[in-house]
Amino acid sequence: MSVMDRPRILHCITVYNGRAFVPAAIKSALRLDQQEAQIDVLVLDDASPEPGWSEELSAFCKERGVMYYCTPRNLGIPRNVSLGMLTAVKRGYDYVVISNSDVLYPRDLMGQMLRASRQNNVGSVTAWSNNVSLYSLPNEDPNRYLHDQNVVDWMHATLAGHFGDAVMDIPAGISFCILISTDVVRKVGIMDPCFGRGYCEETDWSLRSLAAGYRIALAPGTYVFHHGRGSNLDAGLVSSNATTVPANEAIIDLRYPQFRNQVEAFVHSGVLSRAHDDAISHIVRSAGKQFGYSIDVGWIGRDRTNEDEVNILLSPNGANDHIQAVFRGFRLDMQVSRRNLGQEIRKFFGQDPTAVNLYDSGALATALKSEFANVTNTRTSNYPERV
């Protein structure tokens, strides 16, 4: 695609404090691939109160050629987001991205988001993530297992290769990382300032866009790492054990009395759960094929030393209720036959395991030792571990 043909995207990162994570988000944004779009990064600092932080952030952005604006006073999330939307419209951008600052982006994010946005009548595209409201990919501890730029790139590439430019129609978009055409902004408008310091404003905007005839989409072929609530905790919008603002939810209930029922219908439709299952299955299978997998046979699990490898824990006598593969906090219940289990596992991953560790003896342990003789390590103690 020629330079002249590429759409222009204003990538807005909203900031309130966040010295611990904002620089990483900006660096991640600067490495976004620009083959399919011209991407400019704008940091919107909502008058961060942390002493010296705004000055430090301004200098950080200047050194890297990033646009930076600090509001004279704290506006709250809706108004700060609206600044980004209006700037994109005024300066002639084709799209605007509204993003939190506690994120890591994959290098190839924008091409995938743009392809999703070109689906019929799509008005906004939300990226998939470990922390994106009810749509979140289930993971045991994302901050431990997924907070790594290389992992984010791999996750995105894996999901993009599986889901392509497919979109999932969702009840409301999430502005942790959302792409919107400026044509849609012109028709739907900006965020409603009645939501004060923030929360639920993107739900209101999404439902207004739906009423204007646009689809609200999530792109399952994308992945953005999200800590979650970083700036909102700093701002005191929510506590550590709260995830929303009740007063703002009341506004949504008043304006859109059917919205909660629509969310419930979406959840019970099974679309989301099937997408979760499909994504996790593909992630684990792809990891096993690319990085290898090991099988531990024992009565108890052990601390893992290699998170880059898939691990399967089996009981020595094959009495597990289910067979589970684990990779970087993702757990997959493998749908394989117990008959010739070793062959079934090999078939699932398309190759032999890198290791079979026998910690206890039993019928299954004996069968696996025979099946994978070249990679079996016998670590059996003098007595069974199960007591």
Cβ atoms < 10 Å from Cβ of 343: 12
What digits encode the pLDDT tens for the residues 193-243?
999 999 999 999 999 999 999 999 999 999 999 998 655 455 544 444 556
Mean pLDDT of 38-57: 99
SS3 assignment, position 310: strand
Average pLDDT, the chain: 93
Q: How far is CA 228 from the centre of its chain?
A: 10
Strands 38-45 and 310-314: what pairing?
unpaired
Burial class (CB in 10 A: 0-12, 13-18, 19+), 387: exposed
Q: Give one DSSP letter per residue of 252-272, joined into a string.
A: HHHH-TTHHHHHHHHHHTSHH
List the domain boundaries for the chain.
8-269, 292-378
- Is residue 335 within 8 Å of residue 381, measured between CB atoms? no
Burial class (CB in 10 A: 0-12, 13-18, 19+), 121: exposed
What digits encode the pLDDT tens for the residues 280-337?
999 999 999 999 999 999 887 777 778 899 999 898 877 665 789 999 999 999 988 7
Predicted local distance difference test score (pLDDT) of residue 238: 43
Q: Which of 115, 263, 265 is nearest to 203 (CA)?
A: 263
Which residues, in sequence order, are CB contacts of 143 under 8 Å at separation 6+? 227
Mean pLDDT of 334-343: 85
CA dihedral angle for residue 100, residue 105, residue 108, residue 113, rounded to 10 degrees: -30
Q: Which of 50, 51, 52, 98 is nearest to 77 (CA)?
A: 98
- Is residue 116 within 8 Å of residue 125, measured between CB atoms? yes
- Cα–Cα distances (Å) from 199 to 33, 179, 322, in that order, read 30, 18, 40
What digits encode the pLDDT tens for the residues 152-183?
999 999 999 999 999 999 999 999 999 999 99
What digits encode the pLDDT tens for the residues 84-140?
999 999 999 999 999 999 999 999 999 999 999 999 999 999 999 999 999 999 999
pTM, entire model: 0.92
Predicted local distance difference test score (pLDDT) of residue 219: 99
- Phi, psi (rounded to 5 degrees) for 377: -115, 115
Please, what's the b/e burial string for 215-227 (b: 16 or more CB within 10 A of its CB; e: otherwise)?
A: bbbbbbbbbbbbb
What digits encode the pLDDT tens for the residues 249-271?
999 999 999 999 999 999 999 99
The fold of the 8-269 domain, in CATH, is: Spore Coat Polysaccharide Biosynthesis Protein SpsA; Chain A (3.90.550)
Please, what's the b/e burial string for 55-80 (b: 16 or more CB within 10 A of its CB; e: otherwise)?
A: eebbebbeeeebebbebeeebbbbbb
Phi and psi based region of residue 276 (left: phi greater than 0; alpha: psi -120 to 50; beta: remaining) = alpha
SS3 assignment, position 378: strand
